[in-house]
Structure 1
Amino acid sequence: MTTAPEVDRELAAQILPFDAFDPEYHRDPYPFFQRIREESGPVFRTPGGMVCALSHEAASVVMTDPRLGYGDAPVVADQFVPNPDGPPGRPLIFMDPPDHTRIRALVSKAFTPRTVEGLRERTRQFAADLMVKAREEAVDGRIDLMAAFNRQLPALVLDALIDVPTKYHELFLGLANISGRGLDPGFILTEAEKKQRDEARDGFVQAGLEMATERRASPGKDLISQLAAVQGEDGEQLTELELGMTLMNLLAAGFNASAALLGNASLALLRHPEQYRWLRENPDRIVGATEELLRYDSPLQIVPRTALAEVEVGGIVMQPGDHVAAILAAANRDPEYYTDPERLDLSRPVSRNLGFGHGIHFCVAAPIAKMTAHAAFAELVKHDIELAVDEPKRFPGIVLRTLGELPVVLK
């Protein structure tokens, strides 16, 4: 008995402008984007009908034009969470207005500048304590920086923000990588990977609702208590499913996306020792340096959208139902927008990068993630660190670019 292949590679090759299964692509996708831009231009349509936006200008349009959203196309519906009591649950990042507008407004009430500033000093101390612990536990000075620092720091910050009970920590760290891989389009995932993705999301939702129930009974000053009680101007609150989906987004992003940012950036710093030294000598430039590191190798690489009405992107007219991919990794190295974009330059004048998206779906937790990164890089450059391997292992996702490990030597 023969079985059909789990993944239709020919279909993927028709839709995507690169080979999603090529290890060289996952190691370093940027030369691929350079060649694609040179051969096909900044905006083009693949044989499978996908419009690809590689320029900074076109990618920005994709993320801000209201005629481009998510809709209910199968490629998007694949990301929904089943709901036995009604319509499937949409993660906030896959919602369109007016639902997105309403829920985003409620969630934003919990992410104030005061909240960020209130965590800044604690985050610095978390970073310092983690490096002390890493040195104590290192064997011959060797550690996995991802496991010892880059994943632990965002988890500690999220714990301070949300007050995550200790019993959930290992669970969330395990679920985060699976759910991150699940952001990839379903046509490049095996059935086993989809099953793992769905189970990871269910795990986040269930744990989030358990914590929300506890906070309703005994509210505190943490984010979950605020979200469980938050009300809009008309008195509306998040439904139980909306609350569960929102907490899933926050937990998955907090335990994974921030760690991906720290991993990519710390690897870039270690591969550019002159930039590492510059940051050590210029600690007051940490904010601009973080923006450059985010531009240079951002964790969020691709953002999909669906045409909800006729719309033009980079000279290509799209009809309702057509799909477009804003390739942020390419847009962040657009030579028409950045000078010498392939070079990491921490002293580069700060300009708008697309590392956290743009428009109404700009990452709601970006201020917390950036504050965490500021503390992380300020602490890392105090130490003499060398890479222990030439090519650290990466997870194979094409939407979220993240390291699996980062072996280093603490000198």
Structure 2
Amino acid sequence: MRVARPEPPLVTPDFNPFLPEVHADPYPVYRAMRESDPVHWSPDLGVWFLSRYDDVMALLRDQRFSADRSRSSLYVAPPRAVYRSLLTLDPPDHTRLRGLVSKAFTARVVEVLRPRIEVIVDRLLDAAAARGEMEAITEFAYPLPVTVIAEMLGVPSEDWERFRDWSAVLAASLDPVMPEERWARVFPARDALFDYFRVIVAERRSQPRDDLISAMVAAEENGDVLSEHELLVMCNLLLVAGHETTVNLLGNGLLALLSHPETMAELRARPELMESAVEELLRFDSPVQFTGRVAVEEAVIGGRSIAPGQSVVAMLGAVNRDPDQFPSPDRLDLARSPNLHLAFGRGIHFCLGAPLARLEGQIALTALLRRFPRMRLGAAGPRLRDTVVLRGLSCLPLLLR
């Protein structure tokens, strides 16, 4: 008997995909938008929403659109909240700053970190094995990447609990239209992180080490125009962005596998699928759901005219389920090929840390499946984070025996 697929909600002009009820299960809503209004104008938000793969690909490669959030009507923030980082800069400033750190995150350089990542994974899983259970987010998915990026930067990894508190607040500041009470938490966290890095940067000026902060300080002192503020912003971004994607990849990916036990069993039996499996998990439930641009010139996307100054939201989670690009998009297919997902974006703002997140995901999931053949969800079940742009779990209890 064929089971009828439930009808998705109607996409009306006042529809808002940022609402909590959408975030709980966004993919039926995304399908409705693609099918009924793929280039959707929201008069209430003053924003275009793109939910088709080809339209988003065109947007992210089009130089007539800026990543500068300060131009956007969607991101209403106090003046103090606006500062320039790789996420929001356009060329030539973006090109200059990205060039200072990009060599540290190439696939070849990141591969050198494999033995160290394996050691960190084994240490975390040894502790979990002794308990027979694990809260996978706080006890594994978070400490793994934050330890790796802290060591790359050259800051004490034992400070990871402080980083967790700061980064959770700062990551939430990516969300559009944040209430004032949330901004009230952002500023103390950002100031504390800046103060933390200000001390580290001063130490590296007098006593350089073989780490990323020392390299950025040296680049500044060798004539590349990198101000003190730019240096602090870069440290902030690398620490937060350097672990957030992996945390959400591991949490979302584990939940997807546990929800598809036959698929998880296949991956356990065929570990050679792990590389393509990580790509499919990134596509299936993307760690970053939205990214924004602002038109600086008139442009046409998907047959709709976008005026200068209008904001456009690329719905990455939606385009990664576009059936025109991904056959049977709601099926978790670990051998999917091709799999040109946009989980890391595209164009000049393609995620700098993508090779690192991929490697961490492959090593972590391989070890989990190998060591815990009886791994299953704990009774409390998973809990979603309350962020909009970043999609991930705040809690994922696992039983390991």
Contact 2:381 2:397 in 1 (8 A): no
Contact 1:204 1:252 in 2 (8 A): no
Contact 2:72 2:294 in 1 (8 A): no
Contact 1:44 1:316 in 2 (8 A): no
Q: Give the paired residue count.
A: 386
Equivalent residue letter for 1:159: A
In 1, Cα distance between equivalents of 2:244 and 2:167: 5
Report the counterpart of residue 388 of structure 1 in structure 2. 378
SS of match in other structure, 1:309: coil
Which of 121, 144, 163 is the equivalent residue of 1:153?
144
Aligned pair in 2 of structure 1 residues 350, 202: CA closer, same or farther (>3 Å)? farther
Equivalent residue letter for 2:24: R
Which of 241, 250, 254 is the equivalent residue of 2:238?
250
Offset from partner CA, 1:308-333 (integer Å, 9 cap, x none): 11111111111110111000000000
Which of 261, 278, 281 is the equivalent residue of 2:269?
281
Report the counterpart of residue 7 of structure 1 in structure 2. none
Which of 34, 42, 48 is the equivalent residue of 1:46?
42
Equivalent residue letter for 1:401: R
TM-score, with structure 1 as normaliser:
0.88
Matched, 1:64 2:54: no
In 2, Cα distance between equivalents of 1:239 and 1:288: 40
Offset from partner CA, 1:92-138 (integer Å, 9 cap, x none): 101111111111111213324443121011112211221111122x2
Moved over 3 A (4+): 13-17, 74-83
SS of match in other structure, 2:288: coil
Deviation of residue 172 (structure 1)? 0.4
Which of 70, 73, 81 is the equivalent residue of 2:71?
73
Equivalent residue letter for 1:59: V
Report the counterpart of residue 134 of structure 2 in structure 1. 143
Which of 104, 116, 119 is the equivalent residue of 1:122?
116
TM-score, with structure 2 as normaliser:
0.90
SS of match in other structure, 2:399: strand
Which of 184, 194, 212 is the equivalent residue of 1:205?
194
Deviates more, 1:42-51 or 1:294-303: 42-51
SS of match in other structure, 2:112: helix
Report the counterpart of residue 109 of structure 1 in structure 2. 103
Contact 1:91 1:245 in 2 (8 A): yes
Equivalent residue letter for 1:90: R
In 1, Cα distance between equivalents of 2:226 and 2:250: 31
Matched, 1:37 2:37: no
Report the counterpart of residue 55 of structure 1 in structure 2. 52
Offset from partner CA, 1:276-323 (integer Å, 9 cap, x none): 111112212211111000000111000111001111111111111011
SS of match in other structure, 1:404: strand
Alignment of 1:5-404 (within 5 A): 17-18=16-17, 20-22=19-21, 25-40=22-37, 42-48=38-44, 49-71=46-68, 72-73=70-71, 75=73, 78=76, 82=80, 89-136=83-130, 138=131, 141-166=132-157, 168-185=159-176, 187=177, 189-230=178-219, 235-382=223-370, 383=372, 384-389=374-379, 391-404=381-394
SS of match in other structure, 1:230: helix
Offset from partner CA, 1:34-70 (integer Å, 9 cap, x none): 1222332x22212333111101111111111000113
In 1, Cα distance between equivalents of 2:78 and 2:266: 45
Aligned pair in 2 of structure 1 residues 76, 221: CA closer, same or farther (>3 Å)? farther
In 1, Cα distance between equivalents of 2:228 and 2:16: 40
Contact 2:104 2:110 in 1 (8 A): no
Contact 2:290 2:389 in 1 (8 A): yes
SS of match in other structure, 2:234: helix
Equivalent residue letter for 1:45: W
SS of match in other structure, 1:336: coil
Deviation of residue 81 (structure 1)? 7.6
SS of match in other structure, 2:87: helix
Deviation of residue 337 (structure 1)? 0.6
Aligned pair in 2 of structure 1 residues 82, 191: CA closer, same or farther (>3 Å)? closer
Unaligned runs of 5+ in 2: 1-11
Deviates more, 1:278-287 or 1:334-343: 278-287
Offset from partner CA, 1:200-241 (integer Å, 9 cap, x none): 222332222222221222111111111221269x93142111
